[in-house]
Amino acid sequence: MTYNKRLAVLVFVDSMIVIFSIYISNFILLPTGNVFSSALFVSAVTLLIGHHVFAHKYKLYKRVWQYASISELSSIVKAVTFSVILTAIVQMIVIQDTYSRTLAITWMMHILFIGGSRFAWRMYRSQYIKPREDRKRTLMVGAGAAGIMVVRDLKNNSDAELEPVAFVDDDVRKHRLEIMDVPVLGGTNEMADIVQSNNIEQIIIAIPSLNKEGLNQIFQECSKTKAKTQILPRMEDLMLGNVEVHQFRDVEVEDLLGREPIQLDINGIAEYITDKTVLVTGAGGSIGSEICRQLARFTPKQLVLLGHGENSIYSIEMELSRKLPDLNIVTEIADVQDREKMFSIMAARQPHVVFHAAAHKHVPLMERNPEEAVKNNVIGTKNVAEAASRAKVNTFVMVSTDKAVNPTSVMGATKRIAEMVVQHMDMISDTRFVAVRFGNVLGSRGSVIPLFKQQIKNGGPVTVTHPDMVRYFMTIPEASRLVLQAGALADGGEVFVLDMGEPVKIVDLARNLIKLSGYTEDEIPIEFSGIRPGEKMFEELLGKNEVHDEQVYPKIYRGKTPEVNINVTYDLVERFQDQSKEELRKHLLDIANFRVRELVVLGRVE
């Protein structure tokens, strides 16, 4: 039924109820009275007009009555009460009298019939519109407001695929009670037994206030069962109208990351981004593209996307143009190893801020190709940094890695040397140069998550290097927010590090992904392949001599990095192409771990 037809029906039904209520009330008190009296006519007209006015005010014609509850009943009482009061006032003015007993009975009948007409539809749906017979027996985790809302929605939606049969909640006061005919059978620690004894096929976690640590604990209990586990849609998706409350989503590995996301200092970031020209290198990569998305929120004057891969740059350009058609986007297809091009682009674009995300990051590949790591990670960083200094850029933020701490790999060593270059540039330039170190980024290109997902898709096995290997993890948006926040905090020369929480065992991550994909370890086995060249058993975010205990911003620390001696050109790195891979690998690690006294500067700053 269309809105206009529905409105016409409700107005007609209410009009009949109002007229019937006042006339039947008068008949009850005065069965032999004149039903055509002017006093009764004035009262009926006034009550009818008053009802429709207050029904409109309290939105009685816009409510979905199949979900009627106390709120709807309260609105009915208010609309009826105020319409009756209005009628009493008109009676005193026009008729010079008030028929209080008639109005009292009218008020009661009015509420009874208006409320009954509305709630009758809900009762009809509950009793006679039967749900699908193939609905899955569902356990609701959380008997709070969100859980009750979900149960109500599922019960009133005849097309829903889930049938709520029980709650679990850690509030013992709710145990053995029933909510909307659904019993609360126990706490989350009893979930495995409850699932088995009640033939539960699906589990819905309905606790919006749950932090990531709490969600992880509950998910581990769910993992002990064979039931599929899902959670409520994200709040922002609900608010934007992208999904409905009963459109649950699968638990994702990002949901289980045991740390709450960093909150941005919006004003601080806006101050150095809004209405400024901003350049991002590696803008087509997983981190670089997300930095661009985050930057776009702050309406820069111009956003320059610089990258070597034309397809990835085109992709992020099209995405941003579609979402923000008024954003001024400029694309530059260029390699950071091309020194002349870097100076040319910086001179032409004159950026206020540069985010340097271009780098080779794959550890085993860089072990096999150390010269490429030097060219991209060290020389490329030097080219961009010196070009930024020449163009008088205000702030330069370099994306680094936890593998730069006490590095054992070529990738980590070259990123540490790149940090040294940036720190040296801060000492000799008016530009503020800072670096930001991340742990592993979930879902980025080359990360372990896509590999595990592909292995699971192929039927296994999932390969883990070592059962005791641990890593810090963060999401791509979180990593990108840290980069933006670091720029706002920068004084120059710092290495910023996020409080990464507790490290995660890679084997536990693999097990969670197998479970999230709907399999067991019997179906998708885990195999240990051994540690690869250059890999550590665990990563560090700051060396022992680099740690400042105090946070400079919630969850952000400033590293106290050692002084860098870059007064002379380091012969070894300048002539890296003349060395064997093994020699180059060894010398890079010596430089990065301060096992030589004089460190790298690849030529003087021009």
Query: What is the distance between the terminal CA atoms of the chain, rounded to a whole angstrom?
Result: 74
* Residue 355 confidence (pLDDT) above 90: yes
Residue 445 pLDDT grade (very low, low, confident, very high; cuts 50, 70, 90): low
Q: Is 145 left (phi over 0), alpha (psi -120 to 50) or beta?
A: alpha
β-pairing verdict for 470-471 and 329-333: unpaired
Spatial separation of the C-alpha atoms in residues 205 and 222, rounded to whole Å: 10
Are 510 and 462 in contact, with CB atoms under 8 Å apart?
yes
Strands annotated E in 341-453: 353-356, 395-401, 432-438, 440-442
β-pairing verdict for 329-333 and 302-307: parallel
Residue 245 pLDDT grade (very low, low, confident, very high; cuts 50, 70, 90): low
Helices (H) and strands (E) in the chain, counts: 21, 22
How many other β-carbons are positioned within 10 Å of the β-carbon of residue 162? 23
DSSP assignment string, 34-96:
-TT-HHHHHHHHHHHHHHHHHHHHTTTTTS-GGG--HHHHHHHHHHHHHHHHHHHHHIIIIIS
Mean pLDDT of 514-521: 78
Q: Which residue has the higher pLDDT, 1 or 192?
A: 192
Domains of the chain, residue spans: 3-128, 136-251, 266-592
* Residue 597 confidence (pLDDT) above 70: no
The CA distances from residue 282 to 333, 355, 377, 420, in Å, are 10, 9, 12, 20
Sign of CA dihedral 501, 503, 508, 510: positive
Mean pLDDT of 37-54: 83
pTM, to two decimals? 0.66
Residue 569 pLDDT grade (very low, low, confident, very high; cuts 50, 70, 90): very low
The residue count of the chain comes to: 606
Which residues are CB-contacts of 30 (< 8 A; sequence separation ≥ 6)? none
* Residue 350 confidence (pLDDT) above 90: yes
Residue 542 pLDDT grade (very low, low, confident, very high; cuts 50, 70, 90): low
* Residue 237 confidence (pLDDT) above 60: no
The per-residue pLDDT for 126 is 59
Residue 250's φ and ψ, nearest 5 degrees, are -70, 150
Matching CATH topology for 136-251 and 266-592? yes
**Tokens encoding 134:** 């193939």
HSE-CB for 66 with a 13 A CA cutoff: 13
Residue 354's φ and ψ, nearest 5 degrees, are -125, 130
The per-residue pLDDT for 240 is 46
**Tokens encoding 550:** 């105090």
Mean pLDDT of 497-504: 73
Q: Which residue has the tokens 């919630």?
A: 554
Spatial separation of the C-alpha atoms in residues 216 and 219, rounded to whole Å: 5
Q: Write out the CATH class of domain 266-592.
A: alpha beta
Are 383 and 339 in contact, with CB atoms under 8 Å apart?
yes
The per-residue pLDDT for 546 is 59
* Residue 606 confidence (pLDDT) above 50: no
Which residue is catalytic, options 228, 375, 403, 555?
A: 403
Is the bond preceding 461 in cis, omega lying within 30 degrees of 0?
A: yes
The CA distances from residue 580 to 369, 380, 506, 583, 585, in Å, are 11, 21, 34, 5, 9
Mean pLDDT score of the chain: 81
HSE-CB for 317 with a 13 A CA cutoff: 18
Spatial separation of the C-alpha atoms in residues 97 and 546, rounded to whole Å: 88
Say whether 78 is catalytic. Answer: no
Closest CA to 594 of 372, 444, 405: 405
Spatial separation of the C-alpha atoms in residues 332 and 306, rounded to whole Å: 5
The CA distances from residue 433 to 211, 273, 334, 376, 421, in Å, are 35, 16, 22, 19, 10
Lowest mean pLDDT among 65-74, 221-230, 541-550, 560-569: 560-569
Are 157 and 248 in contact, with CB atoms under 8 Å apart?
no
At 382-428, the pLDDT tens digits run: 999 999 999 999 999 999 988 888 888 999 989 988 988 898 899 89
Are 248 and 208 in contact, with CB atoms under 8 Å apart?
no
Spatial separation of the C-alpha atoms in residues 438 and 357, rounded to whole Å: 12
In CATH, the number for domain 136-251 is: 3.40.50.720
At 323-336, the pLDDT tens digits run: 999 999 999 999 99
